[in-house]
């Protein structure tokens, strides 16, 4: 066990992002793997039913599972007063409300994208939407063929920032699911005689794993509340 390392319990440990988070911790002095849980039977990963028991040995939870499972894990973290970080997407309004309920008793960090750069572009998307008032806006995204939710949580967050900046409805979003694309997002602003494109392309899931660990280190020890990367990066003052 690494001295003074933050002990992390990974939910959805057998999935793409769960594996990436575990791999990212292997060479990190600041983190150690308390355990990994998943609903699927996978060697080296505990069954999700053991979550409550394993939580006692963790300092923080990182979740990349499913909306339903994430809400259960968040509720357990609230009871145990353990901080909870989730990068799971596809939450309904009711499920987001459940996460906010958990945040009354513990620190909950929720972001549809764990890339600091993507979160900076959320702010840039809002600024551009507000300043380029006569430009049409369209959001597009592409991910690997196995991704279940469409549009992606990141695309929805771009659209929400654009809509909030303009006091208008969400702009149109198009989605593609193909091959092994890690993640690509573009916000298009089309005006008379010109257009602007704000694009982010992820080359590796290690990017999101590192971002999730950064969020875990930041949220550990925080008072109860509902946090995201705008809090971590202090971006709210830009809007």
Contact status, residue 70 vs residue 76, Cβ threshold 8 Å: no
| Cβ neighbour number for residue 173 with a 10 Å cutoff | 18
**Annotated catalytic residue within 7, 130, 138, 147:** 147
| Residue 208 structure tokens | 């999101």
**Annotated catalytic residue within 143, 161, 185, 200:** 143
- Indicate the DSSP class of residue 65: S
Contact status, residue 46 vs residue 98, Cβ threshold 8 Å: no
Residues shown for the chain: 239
What contacts 93, CB < 8 A, 6 or more positions away?
none
Q: What is the dihedral angle through the alpha carbons of 53, 59, 64, 67, rounded to the nearest 10 degrees?
A: 60
Catalytic: 143? Answer: yes
Residue that is written with structure tokens 């572009």 in the block: 121
Catalytic: 147? Answer: yes
Residue 119's nearest CA partner among 230, 199, 226 is: 230
Helix (H, G, I), strand (E, B), or coil: what is residue 213? Answer: helix
**Per-residue CA distances from 133 to 64, 189, 193 (Å):** 36, 10, 15
Enumerate the active-site residues: 143, 147
């Amino acid at each position: 066990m690494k001295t003074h390392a933050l002990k992390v319990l990974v939910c959805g440990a057998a999935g793409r992002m769960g594996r990436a988070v575990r791999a990212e911790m292997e060479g990190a002095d600041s983190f150690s793997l308390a355990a990994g849980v998943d609903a699927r039977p996978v060697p080296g990963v505990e069954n999700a039913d053991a979550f409550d028991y394993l939580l006692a040995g963790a300092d923080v939870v990182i979740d990349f599972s499913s909306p339903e499972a994430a809400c259960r894990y968040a509720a357990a973290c609230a009871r145990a007063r353990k901080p909870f970080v989730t990068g799971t997407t596809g939450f309904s309004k009711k499920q987001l409300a459940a996460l906010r309920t958990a945040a009354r008793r513990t620190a909950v960090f929720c972001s549809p994208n764990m890339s600091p750069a993507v979160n900076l572009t959320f702010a840039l998307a809002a600024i551009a939407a507000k300043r380029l008032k006569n430009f049409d806006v369209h959001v597009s995204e592409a991910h690997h063929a196995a991704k279940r939710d469409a549009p992606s949580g990141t695309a929805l967050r771009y659209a929400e920032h654009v809509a909030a900046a303009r006091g208008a409805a969400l702009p149109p979003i198009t989605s593609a699911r193909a091959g092994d694309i890690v993640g690509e997002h573009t916000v298009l602003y089309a005006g008379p005689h010109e257009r602007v494109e704000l694009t982010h392309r992820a080359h590796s899931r290690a990017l999101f794993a590192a971002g999730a660990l950064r969020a875990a280190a930041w949220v550990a020890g925080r008072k109860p509340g509902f946090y995201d990367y705008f809090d971590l990066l202090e971006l709210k003052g830009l809007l």
